[in-house]
Amino acid sequence: MRKIGFSILICLFFLMSSFQRLEPKSFKLKTIVIDAGHGGKDPGCNGFGSKEKDIALDVALKLGEFIKQNMSDVKIIYTRKSDVFIELHERAAIANRNNADLFISIHVNSGPSGLYGTETFCMGLHKSEQNLEIAKRENSSILMEHDHTKKYDGFDPKSPQSYILFSLYQSAFMANSTKLAAKIEQEFEDTNKRHSRGVKQAGFLVLWKTSMPSVLVETGFLTDTTDANYLKKEKGRIDTAWGIYTAIEDYKRDMEDEE
Ligand SMILES: [Zn+2]
């Protein structure tokens, strides 16, 4: 009798665990890390009297405000909320420690005259010299970090050879990062009427260390008069933040419906 009772218990146990397996595991986008590029002693690029670090911070704070107002179920974490220097590896670590579902790094571009518009990067190997140049400039922030050779295993942000490392890069988050990047660029083009230079890949150290879908948004060229004027105006920064917000909203809906 005891044996039968025991068998029934075992059967019940297996039945329960198979029910658990059948239950759909629904994805919820719960935490977003917003990373304003540069800060403190690292101004980023400059142009027409503006600094990248200030524009990036303002767009980041505006984006966070839009998320707060419209997505009550999403927690926002900023890597910085003021003009302070945060090391690149720490920015990624903040996202990893908080089990973020998305990492969005906001920057402003710099380049030779004639280049203008927005572009959103995912982690990967650059496919053009121009993309490599942008990654080199953005990664050079680590040269202002104490002990950077140790922290980044001797990675030299200015040497093209260092970037060979990224040819082996593979990530489970690539598809979703690209999906979000495409939505951001689409919003910039359709709603903000900006010139979108598209979705690109390059070896950005800040994206490399994150373990969730992550993108780096270049919101325009500070070296271009039209882009610089757009980003210098409050309205330009509001529209930029709103464009990113709308893309996130769309991405969230897609991801949560998919499961
Ligand atoms: Zn930057």
Region 63-80 average pLDDT: 98
pLDDT tops 90 at residue 170: no
Under CATH, domain 26-258 is a member of which superfamily?
A: Zn-dependent exopeptidases (3.40.630.40)
Q: Residue 96 C-alpha to ligand 1 middle, in angstroms?
A: 21
Q: Residue 9 C-alpha to ligand 1 middle, in angstroms?
A: 60
Q: What is the pLDDT of residue 7?
A: 65
The candidate with the shortest Cα–Cα distance to 122, out of 76, 171, 164, is 171
Q: Residue 107 C-alpha to ligand 1 middle, in angstroms?
A: 4
Q: Residue 8 C-alpha to ligand 1 middle, in angstroms?
A: 63
**Domain spans of the chain, in order of start:** 26-258
Per-residue pLDDT of 44-58, as tens digits, reads 999 999 999 999 999
Is the CB of residue 70 less than 8 Å from the CB of residue 245?
yes
CA distance 35 to 225: 25
CA distance 241 to 192: 10
The predicted model scores a pTM of 0.89
> Which DSSP category does 223 fall into?
T
Q: What is the pLDDT of residue 11?
A: 54
C-alpha distance from residue 247 to each of 96, 252, 254 (Å): 22, 9, 11
CA distance 210 to 34: 13
Residue 168 pLDDT class (50, 70, 90 cuts): confident
Region 206-229 average pLDDT: 97
Q: Residue 202 C-alpha to ligand 1 middle, in angstroms?
A: 13
Residue 109, strand partner residues: 221
Per-residue pLDDT of 7-33, as tens digits, reads 655 555 555 555 555 555 689 999 999
